[in-house]
């Protein structure tokens, strides 16, 4: 018989040592844990009550803060006068511009201006030196380690204001949100609104300053340009007078003369060609023995036309008399003699017409030669005039350039002066939503905080009970004893 069989108590102790610790998770079923937790409901209620007391004490002692938002919309950039460029259409602010304006809103100079404007340096909320010192603070003052006088360090006050300020872009829009947090609901609304106003005032001052500088600069340039315009125009007119290049109907006098000579020469050459053609035709008819008196120029002569009419009448009379009279009849012979005389006169007049045609051809040729000579002389003169005209155009361009610049600067000056003298200046931003004084704090929110504290307190209380139940040692049920003793 073994020692275990001989001594039951010894066997129980041995199994007790080999068995896991009573009360571990391996020995407990879920129902055991729940029963154990319920058995400790007083602990749960106590822990929950203690948690809620701490939470309520914290809620009643913590300083509530108010967070309010002001929104500023960036408008298309305009209002500034450029000294050189012509007016360009307003440009919509891009994302980089919005981010840059955010940096301006949070810049220390602008915040320092806000502090001075609202007198925040005299407010203990923003000036730590004005706050009531604690025990340690009073000791340091008594020991002379700290100045008794309130601090007016603007940098320290600026840091406090910036720590309460948040400026950011609303989504991807051109709207900038100015958010400020303060324990004073009135101050929480005043600060962002005034910061936005100062930001817009600063823009107006900057635009007004730029316009004033542009006005002064343009005024100086205009005076200088007026002198240049007068000198360049005087030089142009002096050279025009010296060279004789006067403009009439958009061209110089030599140019008009050249144009007129070319036109006259063309007409003269046409007249000469016509005269020579008419003369050649008449000579051809005369040389061929044809009736030259039938030519158009001959027929146009009134005297020849009259003689031809007499000839026709006389021929008719001779023909009539020839029917009744003999060829030797005196009347018939007289009529034939008269006819011969008329023909002689007609031939003489025809010769005169041909002589006139020859004279017209000679005159036309002489006119052509004269016009050609005049044209050659004018063309030679135009060579020098062209060089003078090049110089004149250069002087004219200088005068035109100076005049155009003067007109541009005068227009820009009027714009700058009008904007500088305007009662109201247009900024590139405007307030679209002003901060309103809040009625309830944004932190802590009492209802949400109590709800959270209740849930957290219950979780905390049940967790305490669960841990006590799991890690407590000893047997709680008969089943645990049976498992431990076998």
Both tokens of 84, joined, read 């050189």
What separation, in Å, do the N-terminal and C-terminal C-alpha atoms of the chain show? 20
Indicate whether 229 belongs to any domain.
no
Q: Which of 134-138, 191-195, 232-236, 390-394 shows the highest mean pLDDT?
A: 191-195
Residues near 259 by Cβ (< 8 Å), separated by ≥ 6? 251
Residue 361 reports pLDDT greater than 80 = yes
Strand 165-169, strand 66-74: pairing: unpaired
Could you tell me the strand order of the sheet in which 175-182 lies? 165-169, 175-182, 66-74, 429-433
Residue 111 reports pLDDT greater than 70 = yes
Residue 22 reports pLDDT greater than 50 = no
Average pLDDT, the chain: 75
My answer on whether 291 and 401 are in the same domain is yes
Residue 170 reports pLDDT greater than 80 = yes
Measured distance CA(420)–CA(5) in Å, rounded = 116
Both tokens of 417, joined, read 């002066």
Indicate whether 134 belongs to any domain.
no
Q: What confidence score (pLDDT) does residue 168 get?
A: 95
Strand pairing partners for 182? Answer: 66
Q: What confidence score (pLDDT) does residue 36 get?
A: 62
Q: At 107, is the pLDDT very low, low, confident or very high (cuts 50, 70, 90)?
A: very high
Measured distance CA(205)–CA(194) in Å, rounded = 16
Maximum separation of any 2 CA atoms in the chain, in Å: 215
Per-residue pLDDT tens over the stretch 81-97 = 555 454 445 556 778 88
Residue 169 reports pLDDT greater than 90 = yes
My answer on whether 461 and 415 are in the same domain is no
Q: What confidence score (pLDDT) does residue 1 get?
A: 44
Higher pLDDT, 166 or 294: 166
Per-residue pLDDT tens over the stretch 377-415 = 877 777 777 777 788 788 889 989 999 999 998 888 887
- 199: domain CATH number? 3.30.70.1130
Last residue of a domain, one of 393, 412, 433: 433
Indicate whether 10 belongs to any domain.
no
Closest CA to 112 of 72, 149, 147, 152: 152
> Whole domain around residue 206: which residue ranges?
66-125+155-219+425-433
Indicate whether 2 belongs to any domain.
no
The mean per-residue pLDDT over the stretch 40-60 comes to 72
* Rg of the chain on CA atoms, in Å: 62
My answer on whether 406 and 450 are in the same domain is no
My answer on whether 70 and 200 are in the same domain is yes
Using alpha carbons only, what angle is made at residue 159 by residues 156 and 161, rounded to the nearest 5 degrees? 115
Q: Convert 268-291 into a string of H (helix), E (strand) and C (coil).
A: HHHHHHHHHHHHHHHHHHHHHCCC
Higher pLDDT, 109 or 291: 109
Q: Is 226 exposed, middle or buried (0-12, 13-18, 19+ CB in 10 A)?
A: middle
SS3 at position 166: strand
Alpha helices (H) in 300-445, listed in sequence order: 302-324, 330-421
Per-residue pLDDT tens over the stretch 238-250 = 887 887 766 666 5
Task: Report whether 161 contacts 414 (CB < 8 A).
Answer: no
Per-residue pLDDT tens over the stretch 215-231 = 888 888 899 989 999 99
Q: At 177, is the pLDDT very low, low, confident or very high (cuts 50, 70, 90)?
A: very high
Higher pLDDT, 348 or 22: 348
Q: At 12, is the pLDDT very low, low, confident or very high (cuts 50, 70, 90)?
A: very low
Per-residue pLDDT tens over the stretch 116-141 = 999 998 888 888 888 766 555 555 55
Indicate whether 150 belongs to any domain.
no
Q: At 69, is the pLDDT very low, low, confident or very high (cuts 50, 70, 90)?
A: very high
My answer on whether 251 and 381 are in the same domain is yes
Indicate whether 457 belongs to any domain.
yes
My answer on whether 208 and 118 are in the same domain is yes
My answer on whether 352 and 324 are in the same domain is yes
Helical (H) or strand (E) element with 73: strand 66-74
Helical (H) or strand (E) element with 20: none
Indicate whether 141 belongs to any domain.
no
Task: Mean pLDDT check: name the lowest of 38-52, 79-93, 268-282, 427-441.
Answer: 79-93
SS3 at position 29: coil
Helical (H) or strand (E) element with 70: strand 66-74
Task: Mean pLDDT check: name the lowest of 10-24, 50-64, 295-309, 336-350.
Answer: 10-24
Residue 158: count of CB within 10 angstroms of its CB? 20
Higher pLDDT, 124 or 51: 124
Q: At 363, is the pLDDT very low, low, confident or very high (cuts 50, 70, 90)?
A: confident
Q: What confidence score (pLDDT) does residue 105 get?
A: 94
Task: Report whether 435 contacts 188 (CB < 8 A).
Answer: yes
Look at the chain and report how many structural domains it folds into. 3
My answer on whether 47 and 99 are in the same domain is no
My answer on whether 70 and 207 are in the same domain is yes
Higher pLDDT, 302 or 373: 373
User: Per DSSP, which regions of 103-191 are E strands?
Assistant: 165-169, 175-182
Per-residue pLDDT tens over the stretch 282-320 = 677 666 555 445 555 554 567 666 776 777 787 788 788
Q: What confidence score (pLDDT) does residue 485 get?
A: 58
My answer on whether 200 and 106 are in the same domain is yes
Task: Provide the whole-model pTM.
Answer: 0.52
Measured distance CA(449)–CA(78) in Å, rounded = 49
My answer on whether 90 and 204 are in the same domain is yes
Indicate whether 7 belongs to any domain.
no
Last residue of a domain, one of 407, 433, 459: 433
Residue 110 reports pLDDT greater than 50 = yes
Q: What confidence score (pLDDT) does residue 158 get?
A: 93
- What share of the chain in percent tops pLDDT 70? 69
My answer on whether 317 and 465 are in the same domain is no
- What share of the chain in percent tops pLDDT 90? 20
């Amino acid at each position: 018989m073994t020692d275990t069989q001989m001594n039951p108590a010894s066997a129980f102790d041995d199994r007790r040592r080999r068995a896991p610790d009573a009360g571990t998770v391996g020995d407990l079923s879920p129902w055991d844990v729940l029963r154990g937790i319920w058995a400790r409901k007083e602990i749960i209620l106590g822990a929950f009550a203690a948690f809620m007391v701490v939470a309520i004490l914290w809620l009643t002692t913590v300083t509530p803060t108010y967070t309010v938002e002001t929104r500023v919309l960036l408008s298309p950039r305009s209002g500034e006068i450029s000294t050189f460029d012509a007016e360009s259409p307003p440009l919509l602010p891009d994302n980089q511009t919005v981010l840059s304006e955010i940096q301006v809103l949070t810049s220390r100079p602008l915040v320092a201006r806000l502090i001075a404007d609202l007198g925040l340096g005299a407010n203990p909320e923003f000036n730590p030196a004005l706050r009531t010192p604690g025990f340690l603070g009073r000791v340091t003052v008594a020991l002379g380690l700290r100045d008794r006088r309130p601090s007016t360090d603007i940098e320290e006050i600026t840091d406090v204001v910036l720590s309460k300020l948040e400026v950011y872009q609303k989504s991807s829009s051109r709207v900038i949100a100015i958010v400020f947090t303060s324990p004073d609901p009135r101050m929480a609304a005043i600060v962002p609104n005034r910061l936005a106003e100062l930001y817009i005032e600063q823009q107006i001052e900057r635009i007004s300053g730029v316009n004033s500088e542009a006005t002064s600069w343009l005024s100086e340039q205009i005076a200088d340009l007026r002198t240049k315009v007068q000198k360049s125009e005087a030089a142009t007119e002096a050279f025009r007078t010296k060279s004789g290049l006067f403009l009439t109907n958009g061209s110089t006098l030599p140019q008009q003369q050249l144009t007129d000579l070319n036109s006259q020469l063309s007409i003269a050459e046409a007249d000469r060609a016509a005269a020579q053609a008419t003369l050649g035709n008449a000579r051809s008819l005369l040389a061929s023995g044809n009736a030259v008196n039938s030519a158009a120029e001959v027929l146009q002569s009134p005297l020849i036309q009259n003689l031809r009419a007499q000839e026709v009448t006389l021929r008719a009379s001779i023909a009539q008399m020839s029917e009744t009279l003999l060829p030797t009849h005196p009347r018939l012979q007289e009529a034939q003699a008269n006819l011969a005389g008329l023909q002689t006169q007609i031939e003489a007049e025809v010769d005169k017409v041909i002589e006139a045609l020859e004279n017209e051809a000679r005159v036309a040729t002489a006119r052509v030669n004269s016009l050609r000579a005049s044209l050659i002389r004018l063309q030679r003169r135009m060579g020098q005039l062209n060089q003078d005209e090049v110089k004149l155009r250069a002087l004219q361009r200088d005068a035109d350039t100076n005049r155009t610049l003067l007109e541009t600067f005068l227009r820009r000056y009027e714009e700058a002066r009008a904007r500088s003298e305007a009662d109201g200046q247009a900024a590139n931003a405007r307030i679209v939503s002003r901060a309103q004084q809040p009625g309830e704090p944004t932190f802590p929110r009492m209802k949400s905080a109590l709800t959270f504290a209740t849930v957290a307190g219950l979780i905390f209380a049940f967790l305490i009970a669960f841990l006590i139940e799991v890690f407590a040692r000893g047997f709680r049920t008969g089943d645990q004893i049976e498992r431990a003793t076998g």
